[in-house]
Amino acid sequence: MPGILKHAEKAILVVATNPLDIMTHLAARYASESGLPASRVLGTGTMLDTARFRSLLGGNMGIDPHHVHGYVIGEHGDSEVLAWSTVTVANRHLEDFCKTRGMALDDAVRQNIDEKVRNAAYAIIEGKGATYYGIGSALAKLADVILHDQRSILTVSTPEDDVAGVSRVSVSLPRVVGGDGVLYTLPIPLTDGEKEALHKSAAVVKKAIDELG
């Protein structure tokens, strides 16, 4: 980090190294010592997890995933949170859309989607040894958004003062990303259960950060 900032003091730094949230937090800490705002340090976070979530939902409903909106938030890891209450299709809440179409999205279907999103990386690594295509695509998207100041809403990781009651931690939340990095974080309405799950997820990352001193 000191070497990078010595030659590129106004850089926007994109982190893809696991453990993603911890590495992003540490990168931002070192960057801040050189005067670089934390908003210019971001990790790919749950971009891939969110894309998989939308893709699986779209496949179950027979809808192009581009028209399915929902987020995976929290740690990029086992404690991540699929925010089901945020999901909309054609600007309609998921349950309302399914009811209109006479479709079932019961607990068993949701559990299946949850497991496939949460365990996708393990399945891919078992199959071909690494997940480089997915993360390569996410990095290309993120670079394009920054270079062209697209102001896209992406679930990237960056330091936050407070996440569901956990202070000074880096996890993924929906954020507007543009030419200056993370422009701002979008608050999203969550159920009490989702808030609790997000708190636990952020606490997992915070504990690891604290253990590093």
- CATH classification at residue 95: 3.90.110.10
5, 36 Cβ separation under 8 angstroms: yes
Q: Would you please indicate which residues are annotated as catalytic (active-site) residues? A: 76
End-to-end, the C-alpha distance of the chain in Å comes to 18
pLDDT above 70 covers what percent of the chain? 100
CA neighbor of 47 nearest in space, from 189, 145, 168 = 145
Helix axis angle for 20-33 and 192-211, nearest 10°, is: 60
Residue written as token pair 């068993």: 108
pLDDT above 90 covers what percent of the chain? 78
Write out pLDDT tens, residues 146-188. 999 999 999 999 999 999 999 999 999 999 999 999 999 999 9
User: Domain containing 110: what range?
Assistant: 47-144+188-211
50, 43 Cβ separation under 8 angstroms: no
Look up residue 40 and give its two tokens.
């210019």
Q: How far apart are CA 52 and CA 67, in angstroms?
A: 14
Domain count, the chain: 1
175, 208 Cβ separation under 8 angstroms: no
In a domain, 151, yes or no: no
In a domain, 172, yes or no: no
What SS3 string covers 21-66?
A: HHHHHHHHHHHHHCCCCHHHEEECCCHHHHHHHHHHHHHHHCCCHH
In a domain, 20, yes or no: no
In a domain, 9, yes or no: no
pLDDT at 137 over 90: yes
Predicted local distance difference test score (pLDDT) of residue 125: 72
Write out pLDDT tens, residues 15-28. 999 999 999 999 99
In a domain, 52, yes or no: yes
In a domain, 203, yes or no: yes
- From residue 81, alpha-carbon distances to 5, 32, 40, 100 in Å are 33, 29, 25, 26
190, 174 Cβ separation under 8 angstroms: no
In a domain, 101, yes or no: yes
pLDDT at 83 over 90: yes
In a domain, 121, yes or no: yes
